[in-house]
A and B are shown apart, each in its own frame.
Chain A
Amino acid sequence: MAPLNKKIQKFLKDSIRVAPKISKKGELAELRNGLVSPYPQTRKDAIKKTIQQMTLGKDVSSLFPDVLKNIATNDVEQKKLVYLYVMNYAESHPELCILAVNTFVTDAQDPNPLIRCMSIRTMSMVRVDKILEYVEIPLRRTLQDDNPYVRKTAVICVAKLFQLNQELCIELGVLEDLVSALDDSNPMVVANATAALTEIHGVDPSVVSLPKLINSHVSQFLLALNECTEWARITILGALADYSAKDSLEAQDIIDRVSAHLQHVNPAVVLATIKVIIRNLPQIQQQNFKAISLKLSSALVSIMSTPPEMQYVALKNIRIILEKYPELLVKELRIFYVKFNDPLYVKLEKIDIMVRLVDATNLKQCNLLLTELKEYAMEFEPEFVSKSIQGITQLAIKYSGEKFVSKALDDLLELVDRTENLKDDCCIAMCDLLRHCPTNEKIASDICALLNSWAVPESSLISDAAKCNYIWLMGHYPEKFTDLEGKLDQMIENFVQEECMTQASILMTVVRLHTQLPGSTLQNVLEMATTSVNEIDIRDMAMIYWRCLSMPNSDTLVDQLCKSVAPIFENALDNFSTETLEKLLNELSTISSIYFRPQSVRAKRYVLRQNIVRGKRMDELKDMAKNEIAKNMNDDVLLDFGDDEPKTSSSGNVSSNLLDDLDDIFGFNSTGATTSSETKDMQSSTNKMNTSTTNTQDLLNLF
C-alpha cells in the first residue's frame, strides 16, 4: 500500500499548483510579477502588499497600470483593494487615473451598490477635468438610485465635485438634485445632503441659500431626527441650531421635540441638542424656562463623565453658556470637583468653571469651594497650583465680604508658609486681594508683614508679575517695610535685566517715594531707564517723569500724580463683550468655541484669549496707552482725552493687577501731551500746566 500512497502524493503534488507567495520585502519587481500572476490569490496578495508599501511611504505609483488590470473582477474584496490604491494616487498622480475612467463608468452601473458607491466616490475625488467630465451621468444616476446607501454617498459627492470644480458643478445642475435630496424619504440621505449643502454654503454662500432651505425644512428635520444614526443626528441638529424660530410657540415646540436627545449616549449629540435649545431659549415663555434649564444643566453635567477631550469641549462651552445664564449650574458645584486622575487641561478648566458658577450670595457654598481650592493648592503640578491660588483670589473678590477676604488671605498665608515655591503666585494673589479692600488696615499689615519677612525678595520671586506686585506694595505702604531702601536697592541693581512690568513698577515706586529716598537713587533709576532700557515705553515713561520733576513746582505735580487712587478691583474674572458672547453662543461645540474665537472675529488680528497671560495684557495695555499718547501728542485739545478715557478704563477692568499702573500712565499721558506742547509754546507754559493738572484731576474724578 505504501508505494501507492506515495504515488498518490506525488500525483497530487504535481497536479496541484500552489499559488506563489509574495515575500515581505516588497520589491517592485516582485510585486509586479505578483500583480500579473495567473493565480488570483497571488494577485490579491500582491495588491495588499502594494498597499502596505504605499502606506510605509514607498512610491509604488509605477505599478499603477498593473494594479489597475485587477479592477475588472467579480471579487468585491479585490475590487475594493484596487480602489483603495487608486484613491490614494487619485490625489498625488491624478493623470494616472485617466486609465481607470472606463472602469469607473462601468462600475457606476454595477448591480452591487457597494461597487456603485466606490466608483462614484473615487471619481469625484480625482482632480482631473477630463475625468470630471465623465462624472455627470453616473452622478446623476446615483443621485436617483433606488438604494439609499448609494444616494447618501452620492449627495456627498456633489459637495466634493463642487470643491473641485464649481463651474462644472453648477453647469451640471446637480445642486438642484442635492436640494431635492433634502426631501428624501431616508433620514441618512437627508442628513448627508444637509452636510453637503452646509459645506457648499461655506465655500460660496451665493450658490445655495442655506438659511432659506433650513427654514423650509424644519419639520422634515424634526421628523428625521428620531430615526437616524448618531452622526446624522448631529448634522441635523446642527442645521436646526441655525434656524430662528418665528415665535415663542415654535421655539417651545422645537425645544420639546429635540430635548429627548439630551439623553442620547453620544455626548456630541447631547451638545448639539444643547446648542439648539440655547438658540431657542431667549424666545420661550418665562414659566417654561425653569424646566428647560433643569434639563440643560443635567445634560451638561452628564458630559462630565465622558472622555476627557469631550469634557474639555464641554467645559469651554459651559464657560460661554454660564456667562449668559449664570444661574444654570449653580447647584452642581460638586460635579466639577477635580478628580485625581483628570488630565491637567481638564483640571484647570474645572477650577475656572467652579469659581464662575459659585453663587456669590451663598456663603456656605463659597466656603466649601475655598476649602477645596486650598486643597488643590497643596498638590504638586505647578500650573494646577497656580490656577488654584488664582482661583482663591477670584473667589474672594467675587464673594467680596471683608471677612471672607481675610479668610482667603489666611489660607494664602498658610500656603506660603507650607511650601516655598508658591511665593510668586501668593504675592500676586495677595496684592489683588489688597486692591479689592484697599482700606482694610489688617489685610494690608498682614501682607506687608509677610513680604517684609522675606530676606532676599529679588531671589525669592521669579516671575515678572510677582516682582511688579511686590514693588507696587512697597510703593504704597512704605511705612510697613523695614529697610525699604535696602530692599529697593536690591531690585534696582538688576533694573536693566528685569522685564518691563517690573521696570515700570520700579520706576513708579521710586518716583512716588523720591522724597524718602536719597536723591541719587532717583537719578540713577531715571538714567538707567532712559539710557539702558530697550523698551520704548519705559524710556518714554522715565522721560516724562524726569521732565515733570525738573519743572517748577514739580512736587505738587508729582504728588498729584502719585496720590491718584486706583479704582477698586471689583472683578477678577474676565468677561466676553456682549457681541462676542452672542456669536459664541451660536458657535457652541465648534473649534472656535474652544478658542473663544468667534468666526467673524477671525479675519481681524486677534490675540488668542486662552494664552493671554498677565504679561500680554500689559502689552495690550501698553499698545492702547501708546495709541492714546500718540493721539494726544497730535491733539492740542486736551479734553478729547477725557472722552476716550472711560472706554479705556472699561477694558482696563479686564486686566487684573495693572489698574494703578494704567492710572499712572494716564497721569503721565496728559502731562506728556502738555510737555510736548509746552516746548512749542514756552510762554504760556505755566498756564498750560494748570490746565493739565486740572485735567488730571478731572480724569481721576471720573473713576
Chain B
Amino acid sequence: MASGVYFCDIKGKPILSRRYRDDISISAIDNFAPLLFELEEESSVIPPCLSHRDVQYMFIQHEDLYVVAISTSLQTNAAQIFTFLHKLVAVLGDYLKTVEEESVRDNFVIIYELLDEMMDYGIPQITETKMLKQYITQKSFKLVKAVKKVKAVARPPTTLTNSVSWRAEGITYKKNEAFLDMVESVNMLMTHQGQVLRSEIIGQVKVKSRLSGMPDLKLGINDRGIFSKITSDVVNDGEPSSITSGKKKLNVELEDLKFHQCVRLSKFENEKIITFIPPDGDFELMSYRLTTPVKPLIWCDVNVQVHSQSRIEIHCRAKAQIKKKTIANNVEILIPVPDDADTPSFKYSHGSIKWVPEKSAILWKIRSFSGGKEYSMAAQMGLPSISGNEKPKFKRPVQVKFQIPYFTTSGINVRYLKITEPKLQYKSYPWVRYITQSGDDYTIRLN
C-alpha cells in the first residue's frame, strides 16, 4: 500500500505528487534524489526499490520521468505497486499520448483527477482507461481523440462495480467488426557458430473490437492444450512450417497462457474454451510463450577481423531462413564496432548501410528480404594508430530486427471467432492477421 505517488523529473525532483496517507512527511520525497545520486556514485547497480530510514522508495523510469511510490511498511506488496506504476503510466499514455515531464506539467489537473480515482488510500482501485474516461471530467491537452463531452452529469457508470467492469453498456456501431492480430515476437540467443542457446516465442493476440451491445465472443485456436481431442504427432522441429499447406492439422502447445481480465478464467481452466465479453476498442486478449526450439529465422554470419592500430574488417552474410514465398520486412542488422573506429567504407549488394557512431555500430537495413535469399556485405573501418589506455574490450552482440507478415513461427492459427450478442443479433465480421517479428532480444554473440 503506497503512502504517496510522485512524478519526478530526470534529476529526481518532484513535479507532481499525490499523498494518500500522512504516515510519511511531506518532505519524504526530497530524500529520493540524493539517495539515487549516492547510489549511482557507488555502483551501477540501481535496484528499483530503495530504502532510507524505514521509508521505502519504489520507482520505475519512463522517458525522462521517475514515477515513485513511497511506502513505510515492509509488508507492502511490492509486486502490486510496481504493476500499478506501470499501469498508471499506461493510462496516462492513453490520455496524454506521451508521458514525459512536459506533458505532465501541462496536465496537472487531469493527472490529479486520475490519481484520485485510480488509487484510494494507497490501494489501487480502477485502472481501465475505457471506464475511467466515462467519468473523468477533465480534458487533457493532448488527448488523442477527445472524448465526447457527455451532456449528462458525469457519474460513475453502473458497470464499474459489476462483474463486467471493463465494458460500458449501450455501445453501438453501424458495422460490427472484430479485428484479431496474432503477433509473435521471437527472442533468440545464438553463438557465433549458429548454435541456438536460447529461443522463445512470445505471442500476443491483440483484439480491436468494434461491436455493439454486450457481445459474447468465443475464440478457437489450434492449441493442443486447448483441443486435446485432436491428436497429432507433428513435432515442431523448428522448421517454420506452413499452416495451411499441410493436410494434417498442426497443433501447437502453448505455455504460460495469460489472459485479459475479461476472459472467464474458470471456464478456461475447466473446459479449455476461451470465452469473453470484450472491452470496447483495442486490448490484448491473451499472451503466451513457447520454448520449442526454432531455427534462426534470419541468420547472420559475421566475421570481424581486428588489425589493431590500423583497421577493422567486418564481413557479414545474412540469410533469410524462411519459406520462399514469405518476405521479411524492415530487416535491421546492428553490428557493434569499437568506440574509436572511424572512416567507414562499405561494400554491399542490397539495402543500405550506415555507421551509427552514437551506438558504436554499423547498421545494415534491408527493406525486404525474401525467403531463401542470402545477401552479404563487407565493411572496413580505420582504428586510431595510437591506442589509448588499455580500455576493456567491450563485448556486444549483433542485434537483428525484422518483421515477417502473414506468418506465425509457432504455427498457431485461429480456427474460429464466434460472436454472439443475445439481444441485438447482428451480423459481424471477424478479421485475422498474423505477423512474426523479432523480440527485444534477438542477438548473435560474436567471438
Nearest to A186 among chain B residues (CB) is B161
Interface hit among A340-348, A505-513, A674-682: A340-348
Cβ A591 vs Cβ B265 within 8 A: no
Measured between beta carbons, the chain B residues less than 8 angstroms from A192 are 120, 123, 125
Which residue of A235, A313, A340 is within 8 Å of B399 (Cβ)?
A340
Q: Which of A241-292 contact B (CB under 8 A)?
A: 259-261, 263-268, 271-272
Of the stretches B109-117, B243-251, B364-372, the one at the interface is B109-117
Interface residues of B in 246-286 (CB under 8 A from A): 255-261, 264-266, 268-269, 284, 286
A592 and B75 in contact, given A148-B161, A266-B83, A380-B395 (Cβ under 8 angstroms): yes
| Contact digits for B298-321, partner A, Cβ 8 Å, 1 yes 0 no | 000000000000000000000000
A187 at the interface (CB under 8 A from B): yes
Q: In the docked arrangement, what's the CA distance between A265 and B87, Å?
A: 12
Whether a CB of chain B sits under 8 angstroms from the CB of A301 is: yes
Instruction: Tell whether, in the assembled complex, residue A594 and residue B78 are in contact, meaning their CB atoms are under 8 Å apart.
Output: yes
Any chain A CB within 8 A of the CB of B329?
no
Q: Which of A48-56, A209-217, A393-401, A686-694 contacts B (4 or more CB under 8 A)?
A: A48-56
Please measure, in the bound complex, the distance between the C-alpha atom of A631 and the C-alpha atom of B306, giving whole angstroms: 64
CB-CB < 8 A to B84: which residues of A?
231, 268
Q: Nearest A residue to B16 by beta-carbon distance?
A: A55
A334-377 Cβ-contact flags toward B at 8 Å (1 or 0): 11010111011100100000000000000000000000100100
Chain B 1-57 interface residues, beta-carbon cutoff 8 Å to A: 1, 15-16, 19, 21-23, 26, 43-49, 51, 56
Stretch at the interface among B152-160, B210-218, B344-352, B409-417: B152-160
Pick the contact of A340: B15, B23, B441 (CB < 8 A).
B441
A380 touches B392 (CB 8 A): yes
Q: How far is the CA of A186 from the CA of B20 in the complex (A)?
A: 24
A298 at the interface (CB under 8 A from B): yes
Give chain B residues whose Cβ lies under 8 Å from the Cβ of A112. Answer: 153, 155
Contact check, B16 vs A383: say whether CB atoms are below 8 A apart: no
- Residue contact A383 to B44, C-beta cutoff 8 Å: yes
Contact A229 B126 (CB under 8 A): yes
Q: Does A76 contact B (CB under 8 A)?
A: yes
Across the interface, B79 reaches (CB within 8 A) one of A202, A229, A313, namely A313
Would you call B425 an interface residue if the criterion is a C-beta within 8 Å of the partner chain's C-beta atoms? no
Rounded to whole angstroms, the CA-CA distance of A622 and B253 in the bound complex is 56
A308 touches B155 (CB 8 A): no
Q: Chain A residues near B256 (CB, 8 Å)? A: 263, 298-299, 301-302
Residue B359 interfacial (CB < 8 Å):
no
Interchain CA distance A244-B333 in the complex, whole Å: 55
User: Is residue B60 within 8 Å, beta carbon to beta carbon, of the partner chain?
Assistant: yes
Q: Kindly supply a per-residue 1/0 record for chain B positions 113-141, scoring 1 wherever the CB is within 8 Å of any chain A CB and 0 otherwise.
A: 10010001101111110000001011000
B73 touches A187 (CB 8 A): no
- Which residue of B74, B291, B394, B440 is within 8 Å of A590 (Cβ)? B74
Does A165 sit within 8 A of B, measured CB to CB? Answer: no
* Nearest A residue (CB) for B118: A231
Do B197 and A231 touch across chains, with their CB atoms under 8 A apart? no
Beta-carbon contact of B112 and A226 below 8 Å: no
- Chain B min CB distance to A576 (Å): 16
Q: Which candidate, A134-142, A155-163, A463-471, A562-570, is the interface stretch facing chain B? A: A155-163
In the assembled complex, the CB of B103 is this many whole angstroms from the nearest CB of chain A, namely 14
Residues of B within 8 A of A419 (CB): 392-393
Stretch at the interface among A14-22, A476-484, A595-603: A595-603
- Which one of B202, B268, B287 contacts A265 once the chains associate, using CB atoms below 8 Å? B287
Q: Mark B385-400, 1 if CB is under 8 A from A, else 0.
A: 0000010111111010
Q: Does B268 lie within 8 Å of A260, measured CB to CB?
A: yes
Q: Which residue of chain B has the shortest Cβ distance to A380 in the bound complex?
A: B394
Report the bound CA distance from A195 to B399 in whole Å.
Answer: 46
Check A234 for interface membership: any CB of B closer than 8 A. yes
Judge whether B78 and A375 touch: CB under 8 Å: no
Q: Are B161 and A263 in contact (CB under 8 A)?
A: no
Cβ-defined contact, A589 with B79, below 8 A: yes
Q: Tell me which residues across on chain B come within 8 A of A372, comparing CB atoms.
A: 197
In chain A, residues 53-102, which have Cβ atoms closer than 8 Å to a Cβ of chain B? 55, 74, 76-77, 80-81, 84, 87, 91-92
Residues in B neighbouring A52, C-beta threshold 8 A: 108-109
Number of A-B contacts (CB under 8 A): 245
Contact A188 B161 (CB under 8 A): yes
Does A672 touch B at the CB level, under 8 Å?
no
Main secondary structure of the interface of A (DSSP, over half): helix
| Chain B residues, CB < 8 A from A51 | 108-109, 112
Report whether B19 and A113 are in contact in the complex, using a CB–CB cutoff of 8 Å. no
With contacts A226-B265, A591-B74, A591-B76 taken as known, whether A375 is within 8 angstroms of B445 at the C-beta atoms is yes
Interface residue count on the A side (C-beta < 8 Å): 100
Contact partners of A644 in chain B: CB under 8 A: none
Query: How does the 8 Å CB contact mask read for A311-327 relative to B, with 1 for contact and 0 for none?
Result: 01110000000000000
Is A421 in contact with chain B by the CB < 8 A criterion? yes
Q: Check if B77 is an interface residue, CB within 8 A of chain A.
A: yes
User: Are A261 and B395 in touch, CB under 8 angstroms?
Assistant: no
Asked if residues A231 and B125 are in contact (CB atoms below 8 Å), the reply is yes
Given contacts A51-B112, A76-B154, A271-B79, contact A381 B44 (CB under 8 A): yes
B375 contacts partner chain A, Cβ-Cβ < 8 Å: no
Bound form: Cα–Cα A195–B128 in Å: 20
- Known: A51-B108, A84-B113, A114-B155. Contact between A231 and B127, CB under 8 A? yes
B112 and chain A: residue at smallest CB distance: A84
The answer to whether A156 touches B165, judged by C-beta atoms less than 8 angstroms apart, is no
**A348 engages B45 (CB within 8 Å):** yes
- Which residues on B sit within 8 Å (CB–CB) of A189? 161
Q: Is the CB of B109 within 8 A of A84?
A: yes
Q: Is the beta-carbon distance between B79 and A267 smaller than 8 angstroms? A: yes
Across the interface, do B265 and A310 meet the contact criterion of CB distance under 8 Å? no
> Contacts A149-B160, A264-B259, A590-B74; is A156 near B60 (CB within 8 Å)?
no
Within the complex, what minimum Cβ distance (angstroms) separates B200 from chain A?
A: 8
Contact: B45 with A263, CB < 8 Å?
no
- Answer yes or no: A176 CB below 8 A from chain B CBs: no
Report yes or no: A340 in contact with B109, Cβ–Cβ below 8 A: no
Interface residue? B438 (CB, 8 A) = no
Which A residues touch B153, using CB under 8 A? 74, 76, 112
Is B408 interfacial (CB 8 A cutoff)?
A: no
Is residue B232 within 8 Å, beta carbon to beta carbon, of the partner chain? no
A648 contacts the other chain (Cβ, under 8 Å)?
A: no
Counting chain A CB atoms within 10 Å of each CB, which of B47, B76, B153 scores highest?
B47
Minimal beta-carbon separation of A170 from chain B (angstroms) = 19
Mark contacts of A552-595 with chain B using CB atoms, 8 A cut-off: 1 yes-contact digit, 0 otherwise. 00000000000000000000000000000000000101111111
A263:B259 contact, CB within 8 angstroms? yes
Is residue A34 within 8 Å, beta carbon to beta carbon, of the partner chain?
Answer: no
B86 touches A307 (CB 8 A): yes
Residue from A147, A310, A383, A593 within 8 A of B83 (CB atoms):
A310
Residues of A close to B291: CB separation below 8 A: 334-335
- Cα-based distance from A187 to B165 in the complex (angstroms): 11
Contact call A589/B78, Cβ cutoff below 8 A: yes
Chain A window 197-222, contacts with chain B (Cβ cutoff 8 Å), 1 for yes, 0 for no: 00100100000000000000000000
Interface residue? A32 (CB, 8 A): no
Contact between A268 and B259, CB atoms less than 8 A apart: no
A231 engages B108 (CB within 8 Å): no
Residues in B neighbouring A310, C-beta threshold 8 A: 79, 82-83, 86
A305 at the interface (CB under 8 A from B): yes
Across the A-B interface, give the 5 residue pairs with the lowest CB-CB distance, nearest first. A302-B256, A231-B124, A77-B137, A148-B161, A227-B163
6 A-B residue pairings within 8 Å (CB atoms): A52-B109, A163-B23, A229-B165, A272-B77, A337-B198, A590-B75
- Residues of B with Cβ closer than 8 Å to A? 1, 15-16, 19, 21-23, 26, 43-49, 51, 56, 58, 60, 71, 73-80, 82-86, 108-109, 112-113, 116, 120-121, 123-128, 135, 137-138, 153-156, 160-161, 163, 165, 187, 189, 197-198, 200, 202, 255-261, 264-266, 268-269, 284, 286-287, 289, 291, 390, 392-397, 399, 440-441, 443, 445
Further pairs besides A51-B108, A308-B48, A312-B48: 9, Cβ < 8 Å = A81-B109, A84-B109, A152-B161, A230-B261, A299-B256, A309-B49, A419-B392, A419-B393, A595-B51
